[in-house]
Amino acid sequence: MIDLIDISVQIKGFSIKDISLTVQTGSCHCLIGPTGCGKTTLLEAILGLRRIEKGTIMLDGRDITELPVHERGFSYVPQDLAIFPHLTVEENIFYGIKHSTVSDKQKRYEAALEIAESLGISPLIKRKAVNLSGGERQRVALARALAPGQRYLLLDEPFSSLHEGMKKELWFLLKELQKRYEFTILMVSHDIEETFFLADHVSVMIDGIIHQSDKKEIVYRYPSNPEVARFFGIKNIFNADIKGMEDGYYRLYCNALNREILLSIDRVSNISENRSITFGIRSEDVIILRPDLPMKKENLLTGIIKEIYPAGSNSIVVFKPDKSNELIEIIMPDYALSKLSARPLMPATVSLRPERLFVLR
């Protein structure tokens, strides 16, 4: 387990401040955020490549804050991979073992060749690294990181330079390798799809601060504040006043939507009446109702579909509620949209599902 306790780092007018997070043993923990928010700086501080101003780094209960890089117990794949182009694939993979202090190097060499086979690069073993494709270089970098047998793997946007097909192939491969060799991953990314595919836990970093850290399902469904919601591209965010409680719901009045909204009590606790809050809902959680099916009464909005934008196998629907200048974004699978025979300027009724609303603090 990696424990970061109040880590602060200052570099060239930028700082990361009071970072605390825990990476559970055997998990994949993804640190996500916009470019320049401090993700790589934090990773380098954990590795010992950056001096920390204050704080403590613990690994399996041991304080490693002052240890040199090679004694910390991490394997590392940087964003540029740092493959040695003049060496062969085999020499690259064996490099960490050759320069390590492991007692049985022959056993590690054999394990490294097994890892290379798992990664599908055994046929390339004698090839010079300079002659490899991007995907092959990525596999060599992973094999080299895993070869010394460290149980903690730190990855800095390792797939960012690859095309979509190759990235997704390596996502599956990384999951298989983690299951087979039982290592722990702390990974930096700015790719939301990659993060929620690979991670068990997610920490969202913005401007040098961790804004939210939780299981990926919680972070995805219920962003904690407007900064996190904006990072995820969530557009359906509204202000409202709390008017009361009844039957397991808070009653909110949303002036922008010109109507009352119900919010499940289990979505938020300890809020009082006559208080303003900000709530939101993800685009894929808004439902356009079919007129031939029974309707629940909660949070129904009537209006018109203004635009429909194709987006792969989904479509983005822009909905304008009656008596409101606000627009609501809806993401729906094309097959579901086709059943509605949806088209621009068509009247529609949508549901802001109470159980899917989140409150921003």
- DSSP type of residue 157: S
Residue 220 has pLDDT above 90, yes or no: yes
Name the pTM for this structure. 0.90
Q: Which stretch of DSSP H or E encloses residue 146?
A: helix 134-146
User: By mean pLDDT, which of 25-39, 184-198, 283-297, 343-357 is the weakest?
Assistant: 283-297
Which strands form 237-246's sheet, in the order they lie side by side?
Answer: 259-264, 249-254, 237-246, 276-280, 358-360
Q: pLDDT grade, residue 245 (50/70/90)?
A: confident
Record the tokens describing residue 190, joined without a space. Answer: 């700015």
Q: What is the rounded distance in angstroms from the CA atom of residue 316 to the CA atom of residue 329?
A: 7
8 Å CB contact between 350 and 288: yes
Please give the Cα distance from 60 to 133 (Å, whole number): 37
The owner of tokens 């990476």 is 23
Domains detected in the chain? 2-231 (3.40.50.300), 237-360 (2.40.50.140)
Q: Please enumerate, as own/partner, the contacts of 130-139 that have beta carbons within 8 Å and a separation of 24 or more.
A: 130/85, 130/86, 132/83, 132/89, 134/161, 134/162, 134/166, 135/162, 135/166, 135/169, 135/170, 137/81, 137/83, 138/81, 138/162, 138/166, 138/170, 139/170, 139/173
Mean pLDDT of the chain: 91
Q: What separation, in Å, do the N-terminal and C-terminal C-alpha atoms of the chain show? A: 30
**Of 92-106, 118-132, 158-172, 236-250, minimum mean pLDDT range:** 92-106
Name the band, by pLDDT with cuts 50, 70 and 90, for residue 270. Answer: low
Instruction: State yes or no: pLDDT of 271 exceeds 70.
Output: no
The pLDDT of residue 355 is above 90: no
DSSP SS3 for 164: helix
